[in-house]
Amino acid sequence: DKGGHKHFMAKEIAEQPTVIGEALAHYIKGGDIVLPTQLDFARLDRIVMVACGTAFYACLTAKYWFEQVAGIPVEVDIASEFRYREPPIGPNTLAVFVSQSGETADTLAALRYCADKAQIAAVTNVDTSSIAREADVNLPIRAGAEIGVASTKAFTCQLTVLALTALKAAHARGRMDDDTLADHLAELQSLPGRLNHALGQADEIAAAARAVAEAQDVLFLGRGRMYPLALEGALKLKEISYIHAEGYASGELKHGPIALIDKTVPVIVMAPRDALFDKTVSNMQEVMARGGKVLLITDREGAAAAEEGTWRTLVMPECPALFEPILYALPAQLLAYHAAVAKGTDVDQPRNLAKSVTVE
């Protein structure tokens, strides 16, 4: 049942305020974050996070949270690399496996490699899945069934659960006091409303997507917490619209990708106004000086400061800085969706892809 939408993907994008609200309600009880008691953050030296595809990008985003908020070093790896590299795993490591389906073959094999070496947590959407069952602790993302091959609501629910886990770890390790935790929880609880505002801009995003759909190649740029989202935006666009897209850290532009810039290549810059905003603006200027078309996705302040000379600017609602990756996932998804609709591709069942990759 597509709930009145043309595609499951559209329905799943629209459901995000609701399912994120439900995920928050599942974990936040009496002003605290309730996680399985076996998770002992105090004694951890490091976290290893392993996943594939979009779930891997959720891990890359969570690295910023665990390191900046909880002060725990985090290593993130692609499951198919991790499992064959056979990395050393110490006993004070928490190994986290993120998988919507809970059945991805490489992620499961990586989990089995870590069994008996580290404490194992799974972040999955299917409680009965192999990855959920074989982990010491399963943290459900509560996104509800995701049918579209392109992951949308599972990604933002993964981010939500990982953000909660990082806040809990920070509090348990004495890096965050009760008041700060309460402030962050209030910010998280305000997210569904902010996501609804972002969804309210679907028409402008769709218009931008139709323009992007004319391109053969697209670059996505992001810095800091927005960098993994640049990778995710590019993956989403290529998966369903078959437009070649690449994501880069903004600071890498001069180290190669700038050679691709000409007037045919849209450069999608995801940059709310933050401490690093001015650096990203100079990257945008380098693109524009070479005739490149910048689609800036930012907030009101960012638009006021940097809109001039851009090809298009999309203004997102205000959002607490820490949780911006969750909000900015929505325009990335909507751009891909509407570009694919404009190209007439099979949005929910793109060619060559399977929802669950249970073979290597």
Active site residues: 355
In this structure, the number of other CB atoms found within 10 A of the CB of residue 203 comes to 10
**Among residues 176 and 326, whose Cβ is nearest to ligand M6R?**
326
Q: Please, what is the minimum distance in Å from the beta carbon of residue 301 to ligand M6R?
A: 31
CA-to-CA distance for 242 and 151, rounded, in angstroms? 16
Q: Which H or E run includes 270?
A: strand 266-270
107/138 with CB nearer ligand M6R: 107
- Radius of gyration (C-alpha) of the chain in whole angstroms: 20
Angle at Cα 331 formed by Cα 157 and Cα 190, nearest 5°?
50
Report, in Å, the least distance between residue 70 CB and ligand M6R.
23
Q: Which residue is nearest to ligand M6R (CB)?
A: 53
Report, in Å, the least distance between residue 239 CB and ligand M6R. 6
Cα–Cα distance measured from residue 182 to residue 189, given in angstroms and rounded to the nearest whole number: 10
Nearer to ligand M6R, 108 or 172 (CB): 108
Q: How far apart are CA 28 and CA 96, in angstroms?
A: 21
126 with 107: CB under 8 angstroms?
Answer: no
| Lookup: tokens for 69 | 């908020």
Phi, psi of 18 (to 5 degrees): -70, -50
Smaller CB distance to ligand M6R: residue 58 or 281? 58
Between CA 151 and CA 232 the distance in angstroms is 10
CB distance 128 to 140 below 8 Å: no
Q: Quick one: 239 or 299, whose CB is closer to ligand M6R?
A: 239
Return residues touching ligand M6R (CB under 6 A).
52-55, 99-101, 104, 107, 149-151, 239, 353, 356-357
Tell me how far, at minimum, the Cβ of 105 lies from ligand M6R, in Å. Answer: 9
* DSSP reduced 3-state for 265: coil
Least distance (Å) between residue 111 CB and ligand M6R: 11
